[in-house]
Amino acid sequence: MDHVAAPAPEIETLTDRREALEDIGRNCSSNPTMGDIINRRFSRRSFMAGSLAVAAISTTVSPLAILTAEDARANGSNLSSFNFTEVEAGVDETHHVAEGYDADILLRWGDKLFADSPDFDPMNQTAAAQEKLFGYNNDYIGFIPLDGNPDHGLLVVNHEYTNAEIMFPKFASVVKETKDGKEEEKVKLGEYTKELVDIEMAAHGGTIVEIRKVDGKWQPVLDGKYNRRITAKTEMQLSGPVAGHERVKTPSDPTGKQVFGTINNCAGGVTAWGTYLMAEENFNGYFGGEIAEDHPEFKQLKRLGAPGGNYEWSKFYDRFDVSKEPTEANRFGWIVEVDVMDPNSVPKKRTAIGRFKHEGCESVVNKDGRVVLYSGDDERFDYVYKFVTKAAFNPNDRAANRDILDEGTLYVAKFEADGTVEWMPLVHGEGPLTEANGFASQADVLINTRLASDALGATKMDRPEDIQPNPKTGKVYVMLTNNTKRKADQVDAANPRAENAFGHIVEITETDGDYASTKSTWDILLKCGDPSVAEVGASFSTATTKNGWFGMPDNCAIDADGRLWVATDGNNEKDTGRTDGIWAVDTEGEARGTSKLFFRVPVGAEMCGPSFNPTSDTFFVAVQHPGDAGLATFEAPATRWPDFKDDMPVRPAVLTITKQGGGKIG
Ligand code: FEO
Ligand code: CA
Ligand code: CA
Ligand code: CA
């Protein structure tokens, strides 16, 4: 065995980087890509090839399904609770929204956030300018009303990561490479400088910006006193059981409490007391260097895929090099809470909620007043979590809620075949979480959350993404995006498909509407993918049209009427014949499992951030990494959305969707 293990993989091209970011951790094998698997097993086109269409349909669609669809339509029983004309699924260079709605650009990468922000100059970017401009790859969006006004408030937006190849001029190029005797073209990144790394760090993090509706259109308020950029360098504090622990002390921080920056903030949440939660997801990718196999942090870092080496920050910053500062990575992978009402507040990393690749952190106030926060660990075969605060939320005193996320119980889910789910507490001293097993304190349990959940025998899921409690019904929706590595002998009741290319949605019913319940029930709401290809095994209702199905559920939102809206990540021309988008999904009554396409993104993009204002007459959506398809570079992106100007790069952007003439969405 090598004396040193887990060296950073060599990441040279865009494709390598994205694949590595999606799948670090347990699985580093070079298995076929998801696209290959879809094409091999599930492609509609391959089923159709060489046969008459009629014959092909009869072999791919179950006759029962057709009959049921006709019955349903004939007796009108399968009526969706959504009332809009569906968008046609497809792929092109711009976005599309349902007829009768406006989708307006609110903020693009590089847009001004402050009265003194400089103009965006894409050919001459600097870190100093980027710190005052809207960041890259907008993901989570939350809206926090000011004075209860649904048309005026603070928009909080995560900037998850950067795409250097389409951000920086003259940086990436298309090169030819020979692999397995076959010549292929690839995008190769250029040589990083410290200034480029600093721009990347400034384009990460989050934005807090005041917005208001003026004459029916939303706009940013550039002199808003709460406006703020958070970056990979912003001062933060570790708080809760891990703060000050030996394992989070570093050469530059002997207190173990002061951290700089937050990274890879995917989804997030907004609390009942109006704070912004930023989830740290694939933080492992930012660390480089090597760590010896006998180092005490080796095992847990390996379980998280650190060092991932997807970025080159470690070349210029020792703290991102695990050979030099092996505990810095223990200060990432947390939920960060930001007090948006004080632009000088120091964000807190709330360690009681555990350390893993948090997709998001959506919460609900339980009937006993305690707050329950749900969080998925986005990796193949990882887990579903919830955190229940010890103290109750105080609706009358905002300050009283300041630190309630520091004390409570973190649970991990075990989905049983009998339809129950057991929420198992991650508490030091209970069950196997003892010193003898490597957990000497609650801090060890939390820093090593994945290892602790392994020890408890939690259910290995198909990449848990957003988890959304529905405050109206006691139900909770778990987006499981896909897992093409699940083998036939690894399927279980809650993850029922091998080579799960399209993902599924699990619905948890918390017992008696008690979100803090430790024994709940679960069901599968949807198995995703094209329902007309029988082998896919999708379970959309038969009233779902050819536009209405989707793959790879990722983020989701619940509107003011308690209805579910799902955003996707991974649909594209090759695999599903459609871009990502937002689908409205019925969860109740006869229409349960019916899905309709409401909005779709331009080519190369992923759909993120869906979020409503309190009256649900505005839908905030985030278009992430548009133009990132094929051999995209700054000079040749797959689209120049949203500006469509030759001298302006493709730009991630947040849009507001409103109904023409006003009214609730959908
Ligand atoms: Fe950042 Fe789980 O997607
Ligand atoms: Ca995502
Ligand atoms: Ca959500
Ligand atoms: Ca995703």
Could you tell me the distance, in angstroms and rounded to a whole number, from the CA of residue 608 to the centre of ligand 2? 6
Q: Is 586 in the pocket of ligand 1 (CB under 6 A)?
A: no
**Residue 276 is part of a domain; what is its CATH number?**
2.120.10.30
Index of the ligand 1 atom closest to the CA of residue 264: 1
Nearest to 547 by CA among 530, 563, 533: 530
Would residue 128 count as lying in a domain?
A: yes
Would residue 60 count as lying in a domain?
A: yes
- Predicted confidence band of residue 76 (pLDDT cuts 50, 70, 90): very low
171-180, 281-290, 350-359, 548-557: lowest mean pLDDT where? 171-180
**Predicted confidence (pLDDT) per residue in 139-183, tens digit:** 999 999 999 999 999 999 999 999 999 999 999 999 999 989 999
Q: How many residues are recorded in the chain?
A: 666
Would residue 441 count as lying in a domain?
A: no
Instruction: Look up the domain containing 206 and give its range.
Output: 14-281+333-425+459-659
Would residue 535 count as lying in a domain?
A: yes
Would residue 316 count as lying in a domain?
A: no
Question: How much is the average pLDDT of 211-235?
Answer: 97
| pLDDT of amino acid 20 | 53
Would residue 412 count as lying in a domain?
A: yes
pLDDT surpassing 60 at residue 23: no
Mean pLDDT of the chain: 91
- Nearby residues for ligand 2 (ion, Cβ within 5 Å): 554, 569
Q: Is 623 in the pocket of ligand 1 (CB under 6 A)?
A: no
| pLDDT of amino acid 218 | 98
| DSSP-assigned states of every residue in 77-122 | ----S--SPPPPP---SS-EE-TTEEEEEEEETT-B-STTPPPP-G
Question: How much is the average pLDDT of 29-40?
Answer: 46
DSSP annotation of 198 reads H
**Whole-angstrom distance, CA of residue 334 vs CA of residue 328:** 13
pTM to 2 decimal places: 0.92
Would residue 302 count as lying in a domain?
A: no
| pLDDT of amino acid 179 | 86
Nearest to 164 by CA among 125, 119, 131: 125
* Spatial CB neighbours of 602, under 8 Å, sequence gap ≥ 6: 92, 93, 94, 95, 579, 623, 626, 627, 639, 641, 642
> Which residue is closest in CA terms to ligand 1's atom 1?
266
Residue labelled with tokens 């199905």: 549
Residue 504: enclosing H or E segment and its boundaries?
strand 504-509
**Whole-angstrom distance, CA of residue 606 vs CA of residue 389:** 33
**Phi, psi at 628, each rounded to 5°:** -90, 75
User: How many separate domains does the chain show?
Assistant: 1
| Nearest ligand to residue 283 Cα | 1
Q: How far is CA 235 from the centre of its chain?
A: 24
| DSSP-assigned states of every residue in 401-459 | GTTGGGSEEEEEEEE-TTSEEEEEE--TTSTT-SGGGT--SHHHHHHTHHHHHHHHT--
* Coil, strand or helix at 140: strand
**Are 378 and 481 in contact, with CB atoms under 8 Å apart?**
yes
Cis? peptide before 642, omega within 30° of 0: yes
CB atoms within 10 A of CB 80: 22
| pLDDT of amino acid 79 | 85
Nearest to 619 by CA among 278, 113, 218: 218
Could you tell me the distance, in angstroms and rounded to a whole number, from the CA of residue 620 to the centre of ligand 1? 18
Count helices and strands (H / E) in the chain: 12, 35
Would residue 604 count as lying in a domain?
A: yes
Q: Is 160 in the pocket of ligand 1 (CB under 6 A)?
A: yes
Q: Is 378 in the pocket of ligand 1 (CB under 6 A)?
A: yes
